[in-house]
Amino acid sequence: MTLQEIGAAAKQASVIMNRMTVNEKNAGLSAVAKALVANASRIIAANDKDIAEAKKNQMSEALLDRLRLTEERIEGMAEGIRQVVALADPVGEVISMKTTPSGLQIGQKRVPMGVIGIIYESRPNVTADAFALCFKTGNAVILRGGSDAIYSNTAICEVIREALQSEGLPADAIQVLQDTSRETAQEFMRLNQYMDLLIPRGGAGLIRTVVEKSTVPVIETGTGNCHIYVDESADIEMAVNIIVNAKTQRLGVCNACESLVIHEAVAKEAIPAICQALYEHQVEIRGDEIARQYDEKIVPATEEDFGKEYLDRIISMKVVPDIDAAIAHINTYNTGHSEAIITKDYGNSMRFLNEIDAAAVYVNASTRFTDGFEFGFGAEIGISTQKLHARGPMGLLALTSTKYIILGNGQIRK
């Protein structure tokens, strides 16, 4: 099939999906969850081919682990889909309806986007997760995964399509691009005729390419150079506790803390305490000149360090003279993801909340909470770091658009 044909098939499926009731969508998702478990061995057999190929290409053990599917992981995928069944469907809600002076009733109704494209890297569980969220909101999805996971993704897609068909639902609600070449990916990013939204999920390079090349509207997800600012009035014990959690609770995630900003008035007390706690977790600290005066094991930071998302046991540290400098530093280097202040001062907490330009701004809490589940959305398609349409964790609502519905009885414009 050509990309045009794939796009047309998705569009056609989306028209049928737009008419589906929540009961029908939930029945489809339940059938899919069941089918994934029932076909686990078939999916694992396909995954084995990807794993064999990846080993031949000397893939690292960490990446192999992300790629590998087991019965337990497939059960996890099915469980994720069952959780989506349990979520409320935002589609169909009429947000507001007003009557104009001439008697027109004007309302705004939530509707599916239509066709959503997702470009992602090697974790094959994204195939099932993304499908479930798109399906629940009445959107057809076209998935372009990495070549590393093509057998796994194709097998998962086939199982889902069969399950949908057996329920009398449109199989083209999900399609996986078989051609994983870069050329096809670039053509995919320009499929405006059929595609309403494109979401890249993956590393900074992938996201940059999609933003650069796509003519379809994009929601930029992810990279997080997240800061914690320890204010003059901070409770140092709380600061240490939150910093350790935000840096070490999980290293490779976008809401992990990558950068510390310390008010100089508390540097003497805070820096040794923070360093000691982080060293216990084998974290390397790269600090500026002033920071290094308080702990000799701090490695000198380069300019590049302050802008870096390490995703590793490394953190940068900057000492500032006041909150203005802290806000300026964070607004210069952050990636618009999650930023926290540790403070007892009301005025400074307000300034931080108002002036930091990011999707999620925290007072006295760990940046690790920026997550669709923690925010109570029940699921997440990604975390938006752009300001258009959706910002922060994206749940089902981010996959919907609106439409004005206007009910009249013959009104014309004067």
> Which residue from 230, 360, 381, 394 is in contact with its own copies, where contact means CB under 8 A?
360
Q: Which of residues 104-133 bind its own copies (CB under 8 A)?
A: 104, 106, 108, 113-114
Q: Confirm if 352 and 296 have CB atoms less than 8 A apart.
A: no
Q: Which lies closer to its own copies via its Cβ, residue 63 or residue 206?
A: 206
Pairing verdict, β 105-112 and 94-99: antiparallel
> How many residues of this chain bind its own copies (CB under 8 A)?
65
98-103 contacts at long range (C-beta below 8 A, 24 or more positions apart)? 102/411, 103/408, 103/409, 103/411
Cβ(392)–Cβ(90) below 8 Å:
no
Closest CB 9 distance from its own copies, rounded Å: 16
Token digits for 105? 């009733």
Should residue 403 be labelled a site residue for its own copies when binding is judged by CB under 8 A?
yes
Using an 8 Å Cβ cutoff, are 200 and 119 in contact?
yes
The contact mask relative to its own copies for 27-66 (x = CB under 8 A, - = no) is ----------------------------------------
Residue from 218, 254, 381, 396 binding its own copies (CB under 8 A): 218
CA distances from 371 to 201, 217, 337, 367 (A): 15, 23, 11, 9
Give residue 100's Cα distance to chain centre.
40
* Comparison of 31 and 327: residue with beta carbon closer to its own copies: 327
Segment near its own copies (CB under 8 A); pick from 57-65, 68-76, 158-166, 399-407? 399-407
Sequence letter at residue 13: A
Stretch that binds its own copies, among 76-84, 141-149, 257-265, 381-389 (CB under 8 A): 381-389
Site membership for its own copies, residue 369 (CB under 8 A): yes
Q: Considering the complex, state which of residue 1 and residue 353 has its C-beta at the smaller distance from its own copies.
A: 353
Q: What's the CA dihedral at 344, 384, 210, 84 to 10 degrees?
A: 140
Identity of the residue, 92 or 203, whose beta carbon is nearer to its own copies in the bound complex: 92
Question: Of 158, 114, 162, whose CA–CA distance to 139 is shortest?
Answer: 114
* Site of interaction with its own copies (CB under 8 A): 15, 18-19, 98, 100, 104, 106, 108, 113-114, 192, 196-197, 211-212, 215, 217-219, 235, 238, 241-242, 245-246, 249, 331, 353-355, 357-366, 368-370, 374-376, 386-389, 391-392, 401-413
